[in-house]
């Protein structure tokens, strides 16, 4: 497997961040960065990463299945994550999530048929003082109301037609 030149450069820098013989340290960042480009952690990617790090594939699997941001199945191009943890809940995040489900016609970890948007109910993302919060891929949205949520989604949908 080969990646884009930018990603290859990033991975090269990553591997060199750790002392000699400690290549395995690069495993989780490598999975995160390559997942961003590949879309999900495919079996092919597991083997590729295992090869690059020099560990058996089962050690990669152990890690992939442990961390909640690593997905074996592809998520949407825009992965919409709604926090419903306590601080957001106190600002009605449960109702926001319900609204999101209706708006998108998706449930937890479901992907729209066109692969554009996926939805996930997530745990605390560190936006507690600006609740309720939503993350689209890595972008934060704060104090999200139902209306604001709809605007975000409409903007995402527009990118498809462009």
Partner 1 sequence: MLFNPPSPLEIKVLTKRFGLPNSAHIDTYLANDGYQAFVKSLDMTQDAIIQEVKDSNLRGRGGAGFPTGMKWGFCPRNSPKPKYIVVNSDESEPGTCKDRVLIENDPHLLIEGVLIAAQAVGAKAGYIYVRGEYRYLIDILDKAIGEAYAKGYLGKNILGRGVDFDLYTHTGAGAYECGEESALLESLEGKRGQPRIRPPFPAVAGLYQCPTVLNNVETFAAVPSILQMGGKAWADLGVPKAGGTKLTCLTGHVNKTGVYELPLGFPVDKMINEVGGGMRSGKKMKAFIPGGSSCPVLTGDEAWPLTMDYDAMAKAGTMLGSGGVIIMDEDTDMVKAALRIMHFYQHESCGWCIPCREGTTWIKKLLTRLNNGIGTGKDIDLVGDLANNMLGRTFCPLGDAAALPTASIVKKFRHEFEAKIKSTMVAIPAAANNPFVVV
Partner 2 sequence: MADLVNLTINGVAIQAPAGTLLIDAAKKVGIEIPAFCYYEGYSLQAACRMCLVEVEKMPKLQTACTLPVGEGMVVRTESDPVVKARKTTLEFLLTNHPLDCPVCDKGGECELQDMVFRYGAGESRFTEMKHHVDEKQWSPVVFYDGPRCILCYRCVRVCNEGMGVGALGIVNRGVNSEIAPSHGDHLECDECGMCIDICPVGALTSGTYRYKTRPWEMKHVGTICTFCSNGCKTTLGVRDQQIVRGNNRDRSGINDEFLCVKGRYAFDFVESPERLTSPMMKVNGQLQEVSWAKALAAVAAKFSEVKGRGGKFGVVGSTKTTNEENFYLQKFVREGLGTNNIDHHRSGDLVTLIDALAGRENALASVGDVYNAKAALVIGTDLSQEHPLLAFQLRANYRHHNSNIYMVTKGPVREDAVAVAAVRAEAGQEIAALDQLREQLSKESELLVLFGGSVKGEAVRKLVAFADSLGIAKIKYICLVDYSNSRGALDMGLLPDLGPGYKPVDKAGLSLPQMMAATDLDVLWVVGANPLARYQLASKPFVVVQEMFLTETAKAADVVLPASNAYEKSGTVTNVTGEVQKLHVAGKTMGTKPDLEIIGLIAKEMKINAGVWSSNAVFEEIRKAVRGYNIPLPIIATGQAAQTSPLNGRVPVASAPELIQPAGNTLFTSGSLGRYSKKLTSVLEYPGQLYRP
User: Footprint of partner 1 on this chain (CB under 8 A)?
Assistant: 17, 19, 22, 24-29, 31-33, 53, 55, 59, 62-63, 66-70, 84-87, 89-91, 94, 123-131, 135, 138-140
Using rule CB under 8 A, residue 21 touches partner 2: no
From the list partner 2, partner 1, none, partner contacted by residue 3 (C-beta under 5 to 8 A by kind): none
Distance CA 152, CA 161 (A): 15
Q: Given candidates 32, 43, 69, 123, which one binds partner 2 under the rule CB under 8 A?
A: 43
Question: Two tokens at 154?
Answer: 């409409």
Q: Taking CB under 8 A as the rule, does residue 65 contact partner 2?
A: yes
Q: Could you say whether residue 54 binds partner 2 (CB under 8 A)?
A: no
Q: Is 56 in the site for partner 2 (CB under 8 A)?
A: yes
Tokens of 90: 């106190």
Helix, strand, coil fractions of the chain, as percent rounded to 5: 50, 10, 40
Query: What is the residue-wise DSSP string for 73-124?
Result: S---SEEEEEE-SHHHHTTTHHHHHHHHHHHHT--TTEE-TTSSEEEEEE--
Nearer to partner 1, 109 or 160 (CB): 109
Q: Which of partner 2, partner 1, none interacts with 56 (beta carbon under 5 to 8 A by kind)?
A: partner 2
């Amino acid at each position: 497997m080969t990646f884009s030149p930018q990603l290859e450069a990033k991975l090269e820098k990553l591997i060199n961040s750790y002392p000699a013989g400690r290549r395995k340290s690069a495993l989780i960042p490598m999975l995160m960065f390559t997942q961003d480009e590949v879309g999900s952690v495919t079996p092919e990617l597991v083997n590729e990463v295992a090869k690059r790090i020099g560990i058996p594939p089962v050690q990669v699997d152990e890690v992939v299945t442990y961390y909640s941001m690593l997905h074996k199945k592809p998520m949407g191009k825009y992965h919409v994550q709604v926090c419903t943890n306590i601080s957001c809940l106190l600002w009605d995040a449960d109702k926001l999530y319900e609204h999101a489900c209706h708006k998108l016609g998706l449930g937890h970890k479901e992907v729209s048929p066109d692969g554009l948007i996926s939805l996930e109910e997530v745990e605390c993302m560190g936006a507690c003082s600006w609740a309720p919060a939503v993350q689209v891929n890595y972008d934060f949205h704060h104090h999200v109301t139902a209306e604001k949520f709809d605007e975000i989604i409409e903007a995402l949908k527009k990118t498809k037609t462009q």
